[in-house]
Amino acid sequence: WKTFVNMMHWSPRRQSSWVQLAGHQGNFQLSDGGKVLKLYSEVEARCLDWLMRDQLRPFVPQYHGLVTSGDHSYIRLDDLLSGLKRPVIMDCKMGVRTYQEEELMKAQTKPILRNDMYQKMMKIDSTAPSAEEHAQKGVTKWRYLQWRDTSSSTATLGFRIEGIMVGLDKAYHARLQALSETLKESSFFRTHEVIGSSLLFVHDHSSKASVWMIDFGKTTPVPDTHQLRHNVPWAKGSREDGYLIGLASLTSSLSQAITLASWQQEESSGGERTGVFTQED
């Protein structure tokens, strides 16, 4: 919880800030009419087409089909920051894993040493590679994928903060609760393995705030005879993603933040409180 609080600070990014988060650099172009263009992915386009007809439509950026620009094709989406003044954002990667089962199988059957992934591990934690991996200056993709998720909050809490924000608000909490209820009714959610998808938190200084589901490039349908629960731990072959585990953890953390902010506000205005904890506790 302390880590969650300490990670929150101002993000002085401009109108295009949400497209620069979580490795999106180069995948987006700003478009006219309050739209953005995202580099085409057949998997994501299929998901968005379904979502436009699903109960989750109010929680997803409006999808306006495909466009071609130069040599590339793009998905055309609403710009979620359009009309906001000095927007502040946070990107939360959802679920207990960020890799698909197909990636796992491929990585296990072809254990090739990757120097680039070794270097990524070293930049974050030089003690993470084993003595053998240090000597080889390489790790397998499967080893890297496991380390990436277990070294963050992904495996334990079911969400990982990719960007930063300030101004936790009750509007966020209400939006997350509404999303949770809608997910229970969504046919798309029951029948799709949601991997690598994020929740994008957006607010500005006029108190406009919302939460959006984004990034469906690794979200795939499960067989017709299979439906996912999304609230149980993943086991190889289950295709469970733990999305609801992450959503529950995130909602709980946000609820605690709102309570803490209320206490601090009361304290600063001269009110008294008893029997409560502070951040230092």
Q: Are residues 46 and 177 part of one domain?
A: yes
For 277, the 3-state DSSP assignment is coil
The whole-number pLDDT of residue 166 equals 41
The whole-number pLDDT of residue 243 equals 94
Average pLDDT over residues 125-145: 87
Q: Are residues 122 and 208 part of one domain?
A: no
pLDDT digits 0-9 by tens, 160-215: 444 434 475 678 889 999 999 999 999 999 999 999 899 988 888 776 788 999 99
Q: Are residues 258 and 147 part of one domain?
A: no
Q: Are residues 189 and 65 part of one domain?
A: yes
User: Is 13 within a domain?
Assistant: no
Q: Are residues 257 and 168 part of one domain?
A: yes
pLDDT digits 0-9 by tens, 2-45: 333 333 333 444 444 444 443 455 677 878 888 989 999 999 99
Q: Are residues 33 and 148 part of one domain?
A: no
Q: Are residues 232 and 122 part of one domain?
A: no
The whole-number pLDDT of residue 245 equals 92
Choice among 1-5, 135-139, 269-273 with the minimum mean pLDDT: 1-5
Q: Domain boundary at 134, 156, 178, which? A: 156
DSSP assignment of 59-121, as one string? GSPPEEEEEEETTEEEEEEE-TTTT-SS-EEEEEEESS-SS-HHHHHHHHHS--EEHHHHHHH
> pTM (2 decimals)?
0.69
Q: Are residues 247 and 152 part of one domain?
A: no
For 58, the 3-state DSSP assignment is helix
Choice among 143-147, 152-156, 167-171 with the minimum mean pLDDT: 152-156
User: Is 164 within a domain?
Assistant: yes
- The mean pLDDT value of the chain amounts to 77
Phi, psi of 59 (to 5 degrees): -105, 5
Q: Are residues 197 and 130 part of one domain?
A: no
User: Is 199 within a domain?
Assistant: yes
Q: Please, what is the Cα angle at 41 between 50 and 39, to 5 degrees?
A: 120
User: Is 55 within a domain?
Assistant: yes
User: Is 131 within a domain?
Assistant: yes
Q: Are residues 237 and 113 part of one domain?
A: no
Q: Which residues are CB-neighbours of 88 under 8 A, at least 6 positions away?
A: 10, 11, 165, 166, 167, 202, 203, 204
Q: Are residues 217 and 259 part of one domain?
A: yes
Q: Domain boundary at 137, 156, 175, which? A: 156
Average pLDDT over residues 219-227: 89
Q: Domain boundary at 156, 171, 199, which? A: 156
The better pLDDT of the pair 205, 227 is held by: 227
Average pLDDT over residues 72-90: 86
User: Is 19 within a domain?
Assistant: no
Domain enclosing residue 231, as ranges: 28-96+158-266
Average pLDDT over residues 104-111: 72
pLDDT digits 0-9 by tens, 231-242: 999 888 899 999
Read off the CATH number of the domain in which 210 is found. Answer: 3.30.470.160
Q: Are residues 85 and 162 part of one domain?
A: yes
